[in-house]
Structure 1
Amino acid sequence: MSVEVISMVFFIIFSLNGINGQNSNNCPDRTGYFPDPFQCDLYYICSKGIAEVKLCPDGLVFDDSDPNKERCDIPANIDCGDRTALQEAKSSKGCPRANGYYRHTDPLACNKFFNCVEGTPVELTCPPGLIYDDIASTCAWLSDTNRKDCSKSKKDSLDDGFTCPDEEIQGPDGRKLPHPTFPHPDDCQKFYICRNGLMPQRGSCSGGKVYNEERYTCDEPENVPGCENYYKGKKN
């Protein structure tokens, strides 16, 4: 056996001994849970100054915010800083890594995503009007994400042709309306609702009331120009 091979064998043995708890250099304190300086999903359990190496489940990374707590979480919730290395991915169909939230495999299913648990994908659907945001690993408005593959042009419409407008609608107080309403073009009592700003639905005021587009609510007919006589001759 050559000198080079012998040296390599001793180097590997020495490294493995350090990983298996013989190296205290990874313990800033004698007791606690501490991150690896290079790999975000690797950390050390230190007891009496001796380090035991640990790995988060694939897809999760170590939360180093509290050395007294052992916690792994999705990358969207943890700032890894310079700890950019990760363990080799254990990927499966629908799951780039064994655990975490990931974009749906159907590129047109912007409102759907997978929750992967130990390599098994569970399909989830965002609330109406929202799409899956890769960076935040959550559902969000299209305008609040960086996804370029999803378009607001893919909107639902009613059989009379009504679709929800693209722009945000502000109420009388200047705040964005999460479910804005719009007047019906031919019927003072009826109106449209845009759930989450994108999903159109029909609405109707109770008997005796008409829709007031300035107040975004149902109101007395005399308060709505053009609808003052709507109920005259009608049974409420």
Structure 2
Amino acid sequence: MKTVCAVLLVIAGASAQFKCPERTGFFPDPVQCDLYYVCSRGEFEEKLCPDGLVFDSKDPNHERCDIPANVDCDERTELQEPKPSPGCPRANGYYRHSDPQACDKFFNCVNGIPHELPCPPGLIYDDTASTCAWPSESHRKDCKAAKRDSLDDGFSCPEEEIRGPDGRKLPHPTFAHPDDCQKFYICRNGVMPQKGSCSKGSVYNEETFACDDPKNVPGCENYYENKVEKSKTKKA
């Protein structure tokens, strides 16, 4: 109770000293990042962002509260007393999952209610940036990359980055099937393997990472003719 009273006294003191920089607009408190003032005709009204959000002071013509990761509070380090609930350290915002092993999941808290959300395959939740990130780029040191999945034929996505013909990293690289010119593999986000197949009449070209005319793919020029011959042989 003493702590709450002390915070209220600090806010009251700051409010008493505040003066509108302009006659109209929305202006931050110099000390508390989730406290701001609405000025109209030179008179101000004190307002608080919802718990977990802070005031974005970039544009005095707009009233905006956002997650701390998107706002530079600078020296405005004070915050209102938190209103925690199970899964939510504060009533609003994005937070790491309560299960320390669930690195690829997080909570979006809205008015104290946690909503569980998944990260895309291969990513983990980085609570410093309030977003999902690659383990190598995340500030979290308690999480490692998940074990890579493999398909029923044994294919799994390689760990190294794959770059296209223009030298850029491919977000969803594709790979040729070892035995079938028409088939290929897709690695979603570079880690989640899936099977793919070119439309009838085309084959996969591993040089262009796309389906192509058989005549442009060495070793697959007679793919469809050979399939017809094999089919006739089986029927005979």
Contact residue 26 and residue 60 of structure 2 kept, 8 A: yes
Selected match of 2:86 from 71, 84, 93: 93
Written as runs of structure 1 = structure 2, the 5 A alignment for 1:133-144 is 133-144=126-137
Selected match of 1:80 from 70, 73, 79: 73
> Which residue of the partner structure matches residue 57 of structure 2?
64
The CA deviation at 1:200 is 0.3
- Quote the RMSD (CA, aligned, Å): 2.6
Selected match of 1:191 from 184, 196, 200: 184
Q: What is the identity, as a one-letter code, of the residue corresponding to 1:91?
A: P
Contact residue 122 and residue 145 of structure 2 kept, 8 A: no
What percentage of aligned pairs have identical amino acids?
A: 72
Written as runs of structure 1 = structure 2, the 5 A alignment for 1:120-199 is 120-199=113-192
Contact residue 185 and residue 196 of structure 2 kept, 8 A: yes
The CA deviation at 1:137 is 1.8
Task: Tell me the secondary structure at the aligned position of residue 222 of structure 1.
Answer: helix
Q: 1:18 to 1:105 in 2, by over 3 A?
A: closer
Would you say 1:226 and 2:210 are equivalent positions? no
Deviations 1:150-204 (A, max 9, x none): 3334222112221111222111111221211011122222111011211100112
> Which residue of the partner structure matches residue 234 of structure 2?
none
> Which residue of the partner structure matches residue 3 of structure 2?
none
Separation (CA, whole Å) in 2 of partners of 1:69 and 1:206: 52
> Which residue of the partner structure matches residue 201 of structure 2?
208
Q: 1:127 to 1:99 in 2, by over 3 A?
A: same
Deviations 1:15-62 (A, max 9, x none): 6995696x3534323433221111111122334444432221110001
The CA deviation at 1:78 is 0.8
> Which residue of the partner structure matches residue 30 of structure 2?
37
Q: What is the identity, as a one-letter code, of the residue corresponding to 1:119?
A: G
TM-score (norm 1): 0.82
Q: Which runs of 5+ in 2 are unaligned?
A: 1-5, 232-236
Matched length: 222
Contact residue 25 and residue 61 of structure 2 kept, 8 A: yes
Q: Which runs of 5+ in 1 are unaligned?
A: 1-11
Q: What is the identity, as a one-letter code, of the residue corresponding to 1:201?
A: Q
Written as runs of structure 1 = structure 2, the 5 A alignment for 1:8-27 is 23=16, 25-27=18-20
